[in-house]
Amino acid sequence: MDRRDFLKLSAAGAALTAAAGCDSSAPASPSGARASAESSPEGSPGWGDSVTSFPFEEWTVSQLSEAIASGEQSVLSITEAYLDRIDAIDRRGPTLRAVLEVNPDARSVASALDRERQERGPRGPLHGVPVMIKDNIDTADGMTTTAGSLALEGTVALEDSTVARRLREAGAVILGKANLSEWANFRSERSSSGWSGRGGQVKNPYALDRNPCGSSSGSGAAVSANLCALAVGTETDGSVVCPSSANGVVGIKPTLGLISRAGIVPLAHSQDTAGPMCRTVRDAALLLGALAGVDARDPATAASADHGHADYLPFLDADSLRGARIGVWRARFGFHERVDAVLETALATLRDGGAELVDPIEMPSIGEIGAAEYEVLLYEFKADVNAYLAKRGPDTRYRSLAELIRFNEENADRSMPYFGQEIFLEAEAKGPLSEQAYRDALALCRKKSRDEGLDRVLAEHRLDAIVAPTGGPAWTTDLINGDHYGGGSSTASAVSGYPHITVPAGAVFGLPVGLSFLGGPWSEPRLLGLASAFESATAQRRPPRFLLRADLAV
């Protein structure tokens, strides 16, 4: 299936966000490391201490906070260790290219947080915790916000996004901006997940020839590779959950309106949201609580006053599976027999934990969404990106989609070395959001995803959640042909605006595979409880080994 077919016709939903490729400008691995890796029968690279000596590998928020509280570590010492890790793993060694730029103020911010803690105590659980945010999230500081595009290179936002502001208020240290699929992977029909003009190609830390999925590819790879303790991605359809699954981490795509979109480079307002990407459910719940809440800059957040929570930890219960009714979305199985085997083991864990499985449930209406969803995204992208660019600061030269298209044409050798901008051209041809074609497509999407989709199935079977495979094992990065998806389950939640949580469930030849929990609007507390109980029972998260290629001997 090529990208046009996926975007227009598929509702399987592995992600509207993927792309695969390599950047010819990426620094080469040290010759000694490459020789060692290629001579090893296991294919395990000889990266040496750059990979194995990191003192905070797999450390949780709680462990970092306890080390700071005890005086064993300071915010500054932890920040410097992560910056050194980025230099060793992202810039050298495996050269993941997951980080577009580091925060030049990170050390001074860390020092200030150390002083504040000594004088007044911690702000909360995230005080001093290093976080990476996707490069479509505005920061009014020493970092740029470019959505990975050379057209916005060097430009700085006038104001913090609400996500960045909330992170700072919580005391987190923003380490830097994560690489991503350029323009959230909505530029070309044959794009490469994780490739951007600014950052080149993000690599999957489990096997460097494999794709990290997108568009929050850098966020997923960075937190998986322990380049940060927490990460923030964004999703329109699959862009949080797919890279979370492919990089072996927990991802939360929340209910639309739980987290403010103000100051985030848009794709489509009817589906866009930021979301946590972390190594544990507990850390993801902590980050979700810090990000959630009402924001006057985003009217969609008004409903979160009644439905959101500042603290999601009370909902994490290892016994949450007992008595739960969980639907099994069998239509999302069957694209890979080894993924099916991982998921069957996961279903057995759910049963053993006391859940009652309704197997199967059917949602045929989701398969009728594809073309309408694509139509909605084309219309909204043009309207939303034009509105966003018009408000950027004076250093922004390109202030409309039409001007971005012209920039790409004039700089094709740098901006479009591997794939074009067909989607940009299709979006630019659309009219205003008042057109009937847009309104009809949006109405159909809501009807099929909500009324005839998740709302109907959840009510009909009295379900707490629905489970399905998040996606398949990471595919080989392919610059010539672009992405080759397996399958997935992102579209129902993405189009409806309902929550979706993915948790590591196992691996196929050493490549992670996630289990998805889908629910109704504002069901994050229940989904987090179920996801936490599953995680506690299985503990399938494994740190990556930075192999040059997938280990077929596994």
Q: What is the DSSP letter of 385?
A: H
Using CB atoms within 10 A of its CB, is residue 52 exposed (0-12), middle (13-18) or buried (19+)?
exposed
* Separation in Å, CA 494 to CA 235, 237, 252, 323, 482: 8, 5, 12, 27, 23
119 contacts: CB under 8 Å, gap ≥ 6:
none
Question: How many Å from the N-terminal Cα to the C-terminal Cα in the chain?
Answer: 28
Q: Which residues of 103-117 are buried (b: 16+ CB within 10 A; e: fewer)?
A: beebeebbeebbebb
Residue among 234, 294, 312 at smallest CA distance from 524: 312
d(CA 344, CA 70): 43
Q: Report the topology of domain 3-24+58-538.
A: Amidase signature (AS) enzymes (3.90.1300)
Q: SS3 for 197-256, per residue?
A: CCCEECCCCCECCECCCCCCHHHHHHHHCCCCCEEEEEECCCCCHHHHHHCCCEEEECCC
Using CB atoms within 10 A of its CB, is residue 155 exposed (0-12), middle (13-18) or buried (19+)?
middle
3-state SS class at 514: strand
> pLDDT at position 84, please?
97
Residues, the chain: 554
The gap from C-alpha 68 to its chain's centroid, in whole angstroms, comes to 28
> pLDDT at position 395, please?
96
134 is an active site residue: yes
Residue among 342, 338, 292 at smallest CA distance from 315: 292
- Active-site entry in 192, 193, 196, 215: 215
Contact 16, 238 (CB under 8 A): yes
Q: Which residues of 226-256 are buried (b: 16+ CB within 10 A; e: fewer)?
A: bbbbbbbbbbbbbbbbbbbbbbbbbbbbbbb
> pLDDT at position 50, please?
67
Show the low-confidence residues of the chain (pLDDT under 50).
1-43
Residue 374 has which token pair?
A: 């694509």
Q: Return the residue matching tokens 């470019």.
A: 146
pTM: 0.93
The gap from C-alpha 35 to its chain's centroid, in whole angstroms, comes to 33
- Active-site entry in 10, 217, 219, 239: 239
239 is an active site residue: yes
Beta strands 130-134 and 195-196 are unpaired
Residue among 398, 413, 402, 396 at smallest CA distance from 144: 396
147 contacts: CB under 8 Å, gap ≥ 6:
135, 136, 180, 182, 183, 184, 196, 265
- Active-site entry in 50, 134, 181, 449: 134
391 is an active site residue: no
Contact 421, 188 (CB under 8 A): yes
Identify the H or E element spanning 35: helix 31-39
Checking phi first, is residue 404 left (phi over 0); if not, alpha (psi -120 to 50) or beta?
alpha
